[in-house]
C-alpha cells in the first residue's frame, strides 16, 4: 500500500473516530433515569487493495465502543451502519453496548445497548424504551411479534408506535406499559 494511501486511510479513520467520540461520549436512558459515559474508538478492518489518493475511502466496517462496565464491544455490519445513521440525541438515548453482537438461529442479528437494542433481519431497526420492554416480554424477535419492520415513530395523538412482523406496539408517554395489537 502506498504511503499516500496509508495516510489517507489513517486520516479518514481518525476523523470518523473523533466524530464517534463526540457523538457517543454519554447518554441518558430513554426514560431519563441515569447518565453514564461511553468511550468510543475506531478501528478499521484491513481490506485488499488501497484507496487511491483521489477517491474517498470507505467507512470503517468495525468500531470498538467501551461499555459502561469498561468492556470494549465490537459494532459491525448492519448494526454499525444503523448506529452510524442515528443522530446525536438518538445515540445518547441508545447508550453504550452491553454485549457483543448475537446471531439468532434464523440468521437475524442483534446487539443490546444500555437504552435499547439494534436488531437486523433484512433492515436494521432500533427498539427501545417501554416498547422494547413490551417486545422483550413477548419473546423479542423469536416471540409473538417477531422482528421489527419499522423504527419507533411519533403518532399525531402523541403516542409512540413501532410495527413488527406480526403486530404493533404503541405507548403513550406516562403509561407504564405498551399496548400490543396483533395483525
Between CA 4 and CA 166 the distance in angstroms is 52
Which residues pair with residue 75 across a beta bridge? 63
Question: What average pLDDT values come out for the chain (183 residues) when binned by 10 residues?
Answer: 43 39 34 36 36 50 94 97 98 97 97 98 97 98 98 98 98 97 96
pLDDT at 45: 36
Residue 35 covered by a domain: yes
Residue 85 covered by a domain: yes
Residue 57 covered by a domain: yes
Q: Which domain does 40 fall in, by range? A: 1-89
Strands 62-66 and 72-76: antiparallel
CA 63 to chain CA centroid, Å, is 12
Residue 50 covered by a domain: yes
Between CA 47 and CA 61 the distance in angstroms is 10
Number of domains in the chain: 1
Residue 27 covered by a domain: yes
Residue 99 covered by a domain: no
Q: The C-alpha cell of 53 is what?
A: 489518493
pLDDT at 48: 35
For the entire predicted model, the pTM comes to: 0.69
Residue 1 covered by a domain: yes
Residue 113 covered by a domain: no
Amino acid at each position: 500500500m502506498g504511503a499516500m494511501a496509508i495516510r489517507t486511510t489513517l486520516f479518514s479513520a481518525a476523523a470518523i473516530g473523533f466524530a464517534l467520540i463526540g457523538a457517543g461520549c454519554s447518554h441518558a436512558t430513554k426514560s431519563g433515569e441515569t447518565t453514564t459515559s461511553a468511550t468510543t474508538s475506531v478501528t478499521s478492518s484491513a481490506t485488499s487493495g488501497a484507496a487511491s489518493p483521489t477517491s474517498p475511502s470507505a467507512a470503517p466496517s468495525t468500531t470498538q465502543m467501551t461499555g459502561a462496565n469498561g468492556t470494549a464491544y465490537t459494532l459491525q455490519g448492519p448494526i454499525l451502519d444503523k448506529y452510524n445513521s442515528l443522530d446525536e440525541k438518538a445515540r445518547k438515548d441508545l447508550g453504550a453496548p452491553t454485549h457483543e453482537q448475537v446471531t439468532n438461529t434464523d440468521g437475524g442479528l442483534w446487539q443490546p445497548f444500555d437504552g435499547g437494542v439494534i436488531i437486523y433481519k433484512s433492515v436494521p431497526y432500533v427498539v427501545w424504551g417501554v416498547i422494547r420492554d413490551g417486545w422483550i416480554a413477548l419473546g423479542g424477535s423469536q416471540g409473538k411479534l417477531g422482528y421489527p419492520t419499522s423504527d419507533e415513530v411519533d403518532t399525531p395523538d402523541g403516542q409512540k408506535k413501532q410495527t413488527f412482523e406480526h403486530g404493533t406496539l404503541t405507548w403513550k408517554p406516562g403509561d407504564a406499559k405498551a399496548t400490543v395489537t396483533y395483525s
